[in-house]
A and B are shown apart, each in its own frame.
Chain A
Amino acid sequence: MSMKDFTYRLGEFWADFRKETSGLIGLGILALCVVVVLAEPLFLPYSDVNGNWRNISYWEDNPQAAPPAWTNLFAKEKSATTSRYKSPVVTDEDDPEFGAVRVYTFKYGYKFDKAPLDIILRAKGTGMLFMNISIERPDGESVFLGQVYQDGLDGDPIRFAVETDARSAVYEFIRNFASDEAISNSDSSNVKPTDIIFSKAGENMLSAREPLKGEYLVRIKIPASILEDGTNTIEDLRLLVTGRVSGVLGTDTAKRDLYSGIIAGLKWALFIGLVTSVISVLVGVMYGIICAYFGGLTDTLMSFVFEVFVSMPMLPILIVLSAIFKPSIWIIIGSMIVFYWVGPVKTVRSMALQIKEETYIEAAKALGSGKWRIIFKHMAPLLLPYSFANMALSVPGAIVAESSLSLLGLGDPSIITWGQILHDAQLSGATLNGLWWWIVPPGLFIALMGMTFAFLGFAMDKILHPKLRTR
């Protein structure tokens, strides 16, 4: 088939395809998916998600199990969102306690009803460093958060998190206001430092919290004497206020950003679906043609083998296989092909039996044509359209099967798939804890991917089916 001929047929196909609305929807979604996969870094809010999905410390600054940020739109009490601050205001002051100090100040405007989960300070330091960290509230009160003292730094990261490092210091702050009775009635381990920092101070600040909105100043004081000689430096000072809601699709209990996980899982869904369906359909179509063309004993034997494969339950065997081998995506794809190639065999066999009886096949034989020439030149091209439709229709099956395996904990741990996200959700009891944003989006995306290819398949089936499309 010449190039011109091919483009002509493609043009003809496109003219028909344009009339199928469902096909166009499918094609549109697929094109969008391809764009997302190709431009993945543009869509990922975090760099290098693919290598760090299971790296707990990579995600440590994120809030845990936070709902998506847009849920604020529907909530009466607005939750704090995540905000990041760089380049603090630097001033030199005289401090009654430390003498001459250099002060780094971050400004945070708090305008929510529910306090952030955490305030995290990060920096890189060299030599010896001492920091005194406090926060000044809009009501004029100052809360001492803690002190950091580290020696022997060599560009090492420094991290100070209020949630963990300022618990006792904030408790001191409570003592200034709350009654002894209230304090003895409360359980100190239940008190969240940020809740206290962002609430109005008073007698019963422990039992009835009212948000204190306004401008907060986080002040980091470093004695001037430390920074004087230049051997001790602090660089890259950043402040992160971790919100109660996070990102497009929230986070899971391991603080991972689910939106990133879903975007990074898209390419694997496409890859698994397409590779599995293309290979298994090609194998199945050839198997069916060979069955039909050779007939007789070959057909009987091959049909027997086919029946054996068809009657084997896929999932239990895949579970055993995954238990024996170290789960890798290649083994999963390979074993899915072993079970999926049977899909088109019966239909192709019956179609090929019909084509085999055409006079032009007999004519080709009379011309001296060998069997493989007849199979590849005369029979296979007629079944190609059916194969394409079948490929599109078996993509969803492969994606769902991989998800099922991952859901059972048998996925490839080196990649991110939607099934694995669901698996993690199930393990952490996401359903019981109401973390719907952890379950619904991956499930929806699996369904959407299946729908896309089903739409494409239906449209192609309608256009290319050799029965409906007479010569």
Chain B
Amino acid sequence: MSIDKNDVILEIKDLKKHFAPHQSLAQTLTGKNRKVVKAVDGISFAIRRGEIFGLIGESGSGKTTTGKLVMKLIDPTSGTIEFNGEDVTKTDKERTKAYRRQVQMIFQDPYASMNPRFKIKDVLEEPLIIHKIPGGHVEHEEMIVKALTEVKLNPPEEFMGRYPHMLSGGQRQRVATARTLILNPLMLVADEPVSMIDLSTRAEILHMMKDVQRDLGLTYLYITHDLSTARYFTDRIAVMYLGRIVEMGDADDVIDHPLHPYTKALIDAVPEPETGKVDVIKELPISGEIPSPANIPPGCRFHTRCPYAKPECSAEAEPELIDVGNGHYQACRRYKEI
């Protein structure tokens, strides 16, 4: 299944973000360059209009950096970002502002992402003021009420005068979603939107987000480390390891038939709350911590932790993502053997 070009809303090509650590003058003069942190090291993917695309990986895999790159909160080292067929990698102030009106972000911590001194009303009015949405206070208030109804905060008037700390985590994340919706964006970047919310309300929030997505025809870039919500929530997923995508495809396909050993390990790690299995802490087939992105292993970057690693994995060049059919991509040279 190939992707129709007209259908693509966001396309990323060979995007890299390398952080250069601060160097002292002596280090520069002696030529002792410290190692560059390769947070995102050449990723490419495309998101279709109206789809929910999941970006999955453990801490340090570079998924949040990717989200920030898409939001243009940081500038990429190389590579391009195309939005709606337009290259937005390097834009001036005006274009960036216009881009941000179309692409919005929901942050992980719903409390930290709102100024504690702002009332909910002020939080929601801020994007309207920033983008100089015509209308006075009254019209803005109507829009705020509409956005709050959209995220099912009822009655909206009751919430508008409150401060963020007076709301529960779930309510805050609804407000955060309402803040992004108020500008009628085309796409939302959701960086682990439910990871800090109680399990009991998690499903509710995801339901709400999905409803909103369906109602307004939005596109989501959903960043998470949680495979179980990803399966429920996303249409397609990409699994990231140490700054690269190792497997990508339809959510059900990837989770039911993982090809890359890293994906397999992640899926095995999901606890199953079944009788008799609750007390069993799963032994991960992979061991150790994710290596430092400043010191990426040569060859296949997963070989240090891979249970199937052979000498060739570290000796030969880095494997590229290969299409295994049906829109399923993976980056293990031995996927057929394992």
Contacts and interface: CB of A to CB of B under 8 A. Distances in A.
Interface of A: 358-360, 362-370, 373, 377-378, 381-382, 471
Contacts of A365: 73
B128 to A, nearest CB: 10
B126 A359 contact: no
B138 interface: no
Contacts of B100: 366-368
Interface string B294-314: 000000000000000000000
A273 to B, nearest CB: 30
Contact of A373 (B104, B112, B130): B130
Interface in B91-125: 93, 96-97, 100-101, 104-105, 107-109, 112-117
B71 interface: yes
A359 B130 contact: no
B117 A362 contact: no
B214 interface: no
B179 interface: yes
Contact of B113 (A363, A373, A381, A471): A363
Nearest to A361: B115
28 contacts: A359-B109, A360-B113, A360-B114, A362-B73, A362-B107, A363-B105, A363-B113, A363-B114, A363-B176, A364-B115, A364-B126, A365-B73, A366-B71, A366-B105, A367-B126, A367-B127, A367-B179, A368-B96, A368-B100, A368-B101, A368-B130, A369-B130, A370-B93, A370-B97, A370-B130, A378-B115, A471-B116, A471-B165
A44 B48 CA distance: 83
A365 B71 CA distance: 9
Interface of A is mostly: helix
B131 interface: yes
Nearest to A366: B105
Nearest to A9: B117
The 7 closest A-B pairs by CB, nearest first: A359-B112, A368-B100, A471-B116, A363-B113, A366-B105, A359-B113, A360-B115
Residue among B93, B100, B113 with most chain A CB within 10 A: B113
Residue among A359, A367, A373, A378 with most chain B CB within 10 A: A367
A358 B112 contact: yes
Contacts of A370: 93, 97, 130
Contacts of B101: 368
A369 B104 contact: no
Contact of A366 (B104, B108, B116): B104
Contacts of B71: 366
A358 B100 CA distance: 19
A370 B96 CA distance: 11
B129 to A, nearest CB: 8
Nearest to B112: A359
A360 B179 CA distance: 12
A381 B117 contact: yes
Given A368-B127, A368-B130, 20 more contacts: A359-B109, A360-B112, A360-B114, A360-B115, A360-B116, A362-B73, A363-B105, A363-B107, A363-B113, A363-B176, A366-B73, A366-B100, A367-B126, A367-B127, A367-B179, A368-B97, A368-B101, A382-B117, A471-B116, A471-B165
A422 to B, nearest CB: 46
Give the interface size bracket for B toward A. 20 to 34
B213 to A, nearest CB: 19
B104 A367 contact: yes
Contacts of B107: 359, 362-363
Interface in B146-204: 165, 176, 179
Contacts of B97: 368, 370
B112 A369 contact: no
Residue among B97, B115, B116, B127 with most chain A CB within 10 A: B115
A364 B124 CA distance: 11
Contacts of B105: 363, 366
A405 B109 CA distance: 54
Contacts of B96: 368
A366 B165 CA distance: 22
B194 to A, nearest CB: 16
Nearest to A360: B115
A358 B97 CA distance: 21
Contacts of A471: 116-117, 165
Residue among B93, B101, B126, B127 with most chain A CB within 10 A: B126
A366 B96 CA distance: 10
Contacts of A359: 107-109, 112-113
A377 B109 CA distance: 21
Residue among A358, A377, A378 with most chain B CB within 10 A: A377
A368 B131 contact: yes
A220 B83 CA distance: 107
Residue among A359, A378, A381 with most chain B CB within 10 A: A359
Contacts of A378: 115
A359 B173 CA distance: 14
Contacts of A377: 126
A147 B130 CA distance: 88
Contact of B130 (A360, A362, A367, A381): A367
B3 to A, nearest CB: 27
Given A358-B112, A359-B107, A360-B112, A369 B117 contact: no
Contacts of A381: 117
B225 to A, nearest CB: 18
Residue among B93, B109, B130, B179 with most chain A CB within 10 A: B130
A381 B73 CA distance: 23
A5 to B, nearest CB: 8
Given A360-B112, A362-B107, A471-B116, A369 B126 contact: yes
A378 B118 CA distance: 9
Contacts of A360: 112-116
Nearest to B116: A471
Contacts of B179: 367
A386 to B, nearest CB: 14
A364 B117 CA distance: 14
A90 B105 CA distance: 98
Residue among A359, A366, A381 with most chain B CB within 10 A: A366
Nearest to B100: A368
A287 to B, nearest CB: 23
Contacts of B130: 367-370, 373
Interface in B128-144: 130-131
